[in-house]
Amino acid sequence: MPDTSRPPTSSSLTGSAADVSSSEESTPLGTVSIAPVSIATVSVAKTAHHVAAASAPVRVALLIISDTRTPDTDTSGQYLLAELQAQGHQVTSYRIVKDDAVEIRAALVAFVREATIVISSGGTGITGRDVTIPVVESLITKPIPGFGELFRMLSYAQVGGAAMLSRAVAGLCRGAVIFALPGSLNAVTTAWEGLLKSELSHLAFEVTRHGQPGVADLGGARPAGNLFSPPAATPAGTLNNLTGKPAAAKAPELGRHKPGSGNGS
């Protein structure tokens, strides 16, 4: 009969427990072992409505903040344009503005009126010219802190402590979600592949299904098979639209707003 009063020897441990013991012996006292985060291996359980909304096209506007970039040299913006179009989303506007708070705010206020998702890139650091985050935070009415937290977690696995310098942020402004990303292509790729690519349609679904305070109620059912994009005509007066040509007559849009309502008017 085995002596149950004595603790088990190392030979009686399971494989996983033995592995833990071995790992502890090889780790210096006072240090922490952090497993790297692999974007490709993350498995996510999705609810039924999450799956149903996963492929719906979304109206997206892109704002690039830079003193030096042009459409020809804007690798981050061109990457996002290609990825969004490959996923079937509708890019309503693509614009490059200087690191100037007034220009950034004006573009964002216009974009949240025409798109459900607004993605900005640039100006999220701590230099004297980085003014994007205060502008975005002044417009946000419902913060989404998890985005910045997860983005910096993914970045830490790639660049270490330098990830703390990014102030990437996200939140709702009226009927749209604004994501403020860093300007580098590597950071934009991390945010897109690790967080945004699989979630844009789900985010749009959550934003629009119950409406948002200060957003006009359009009434009626959404078009079948296209929960988040209105008819294909580009609204008249759209700022810096992709074709550069005069826009057609305005069509009804999800996320239109009552004059003078909400933040950022």
Cα three-residue angle 26-32-35, rounded to 5 degrees: 90
Nearest Cα residue to 125 out of 176, 43, 65: 65
SS3 call for 194: helix
Phi, psi of 251 (to 5 degrees): -105, 155
Break the chain into its structural domains and give their ranges.
Answer: 58-209
Nearest Cα residue to 62 out of 100, 105, 94, 107: 94
SS3 call for 15: helix
The CATH number that domain 58-209 falls under is 3.40.980.10
Would you write out the chain's pLDDT as a tens digit for each of its 265 residues?
555 555 454 444 444 444 433 333 444 545 444 455 554 445 555 666 555 566 689 999 999 999 999 999 999 999 999 999 999 999 999 999 999 999 999 999 999 999 999 999 999 999 999 999 999 999 999 999 999 999 999 999 999 999 999 999 999 998 899 999 999 999 999 999 999 999 999 999 998 887 777 665 433 333 333 344 443 443 333 344 454 444 443 333 333 334 444 444 3
Q: What does pTM read for this prediction?
A: 0.66
Nearest Cα residue to 60 out of 257, 260, 255: 255
Strands 117-121 and 176-181: parallel
Start-end of H helices in the chain: 15-26, 48-53, 75-86, 101-111, 132-139, 145-159, 185-191, 200-209
Separation CA 55–CA 96 (nearest Å)? 28
Residue entry with tokens 């085995």: 2
165-222: pLDDT as tens digits: 999 999 999 889 999 999 999 999 999 999 999 999 999 999 888 777 766 543 333 3
3-state DSSP: the chain helix, strand, coil percent, rounded to 5?
Answer: 35, 15, 50
Tokens of 88: 């079937």
Tokens of 115: 């798109």
Find the distance separating the first CA and the last CA of the chain, reported in whole Å.
80
